Copies of this chain bind each other. A is one copy, B any other.
Amino acid sequence: MAVLEAGQSGIANVPVLNLRSDFAGMDDLPAQMAEIGRRARAAARLMALASAQTKDIALRTIAERLRASRETILRENARDVAAAEAAGQSRALIDRLTLDDARLAGMADAVEKIGALADPVGRQLAAIERPNGLLIERVAVPLGVIGVIFESRPNVTADAGALCLKAGNAAILRAGSDSHRSAVAIARAMSEGLVAAGLPADAIQIVPTRDRAAVGAMLAGLDGCIDVIVPRGGRGLVERVQAEARVPVFAHLDGVCHVYVAACADLDMARSLLLNSKLRRTGICGAAETLLVDRACAGTHLVPLVTALLDAGCAVRGDEAVQAADPRVTPASEADWRTEYLDAIISARVVDGLDAAIQHIETHGSHHTDAIVTGDREEATRFLAEVDSAIVTHNASTQFADGGEFGFGAEIGIATGRMHARGPVGVEQLTTFKYRVHGSGQTRP
C-alpha cells in the first residue's frame, strides 16, 4: 500500500505533508479536495476491515504519541494563539483555542478511553431465519467517510478523529483557521498511531488549506466521497452546514430546552432540577432556557422557583404571572421563547396544564432535550410520549443530555435531526449496517 509506506517513513509523511508533496502540480483547490476524498474512500475500505484489536492498538499509540509530542503541539498551539491575539480575536475564542498540559493530558486520556470502548463494528443487530432455510443477519458496519468541520477548539482533532477511527471510518477534518497549526500537529501524532497499527495514514486527514472554499467542497460531498458531515462549532457554522450540505448532517442548531414543573411536582426536587438544568453550565446545548410552571401549582411553586433562580444570579424574563412573582423579573418578548441564551438568563411562563406545556414546547422548542418534573406517573408518561424531542426526561436534569452521561463513553455531538442518529452521537451511531444472507443454494420461486 503506497499509503502505508508513505506514512511509515516517519513524521514527514503525515497526510498533510503527503498532500504537500503529492499535490506539487495541483494548485487548484477542487483537485486537491477531490484527491483527499478519494484517499479517504480508499482508507475507509481498509478501515472497515480492521479488527477491534488493531483499532485499539492505534488508539493507545495515538494517546502515547500525543503525550510524547507535548512540546511540538504546545509550540504550534502557541503560534495559533499568538496569531489569534494579533488578529484581535475575543478572549472566549482564545480560551477555546489555548492548550496547556492539563488539556493535552485530557485529550490523550479521552483517546485512550475511546480505545477501551466496545467495538461497535460487527455487532449482529438482527438475525432472521426464513422458512426456506436462509439465515439473514443485519450486521453493524462503518458509515464510511465522515467529514468533520470545526472551529477554534483544537482538541476536536483528537476527539472526533478517535471516534471515527473506533467505528472503522475514515475522517476528513477541517480545522478553523485559528486552530489550524495546532490541529496539524495533533493530526501528525494520530497519523503515527494509525501507521504503527498498520492502518492507513489517510484514515485521518486534515484539510491542508485555510481556504474557506474547502468547506464548500466538503459540503458538496467530494463527489460521493463523504457520507456524513459533523459540524462542531457555533450557530453560524451549523447554520451554514445545514443550509448548504448535499450530504447528511449530524448536528443540532439550537438547544432551546424546557423544564416543565407540573402541579404534582415536589417543590424541593423541582428547585434542584431547575437550578441544575439552567445553571450547572449555562453554555452547553442541554442547558435549560425556558421554565414552564403549571398554573395549578403556581401559587405555591412559582415564587420559590423564581426566587431561587434570581438569588443564584440568573436573570428571569417572564410573562405577567412570573413578573408578579418578583420585582426583579423583566418582561419576556415573543422572541424569548425561541432564544437559546447559553447564559445565566431564563425565560419563564405559567401554562394551563400539560397540554399547554406540550403545545408551548412543540411550538417554540428545538426538539433537543425537555424535562418534566412531576409526581404523577401518568402525566410523565404523556409528556415523554408527546414531546417530540431527541431526549425527554422525567425528574432528571436536562444537563444529562450528553453521550458520556448516557454511557456511550464519548460523543461526537448531539443531533436533533430525525434520521439515523438522534440525541448523543456516540460510536454506535457512527456505524450503519448491511445484510448478510447465508444460503445453501436457495433460489426464489
Contact = CB atoms under 8 A, between A and B. Distances in A.
A26 interface: no
Interface string A388-413: 11111111110110100111000000
Contact of A397 (B280, B392, B443): B443
B396 A49 contact: no
A422 B443 contact: no
Interface stretch (A14-22, A86-94, A324-332, A428-436): A428-436
A434 B400 contact: no
Contacts of A436: 384, 392-394
A352 interface: no
B407 A444 contact: no
A154 interface: no
Contact of A395 (B228, B362, B434, B439): B439
A272 B441 CA distance: 8
B392 A439 contact: no
A282 to B, nearest CB: 13
Interface string A213-225: 0000000000000
A143 B420 CA distance: 10
Contacts of A420: 419-420
Given A406-B136, A407-B128, A432 B444 contact: no
Interface of A: 45, 48-49, 128, 130, 134, 136, 141, 143-144, 227-228, 248, 266, 269, 272-273, 275-276, 280, 362, 384-386, 388-397, 399-400, 402, 405-407, 418-420, 422-423, 432-444
Number of copies: 2
Contacts of A280: 443-444
Main secondary structure, interface of A, reads mixed
B134 A439 contact: no
B45 A393 contact: no
Given A228-B419, A280-B443, A407-B130, A434 B389 contact: yes
A272 B266 CA distance: 70
A103 to B, nearest CB: 20
A364 to B, nearest CB: 15
Nearest to A281: B444
Given A362-B45, A432-B422, A435-B423, A444 B276 contact: yes
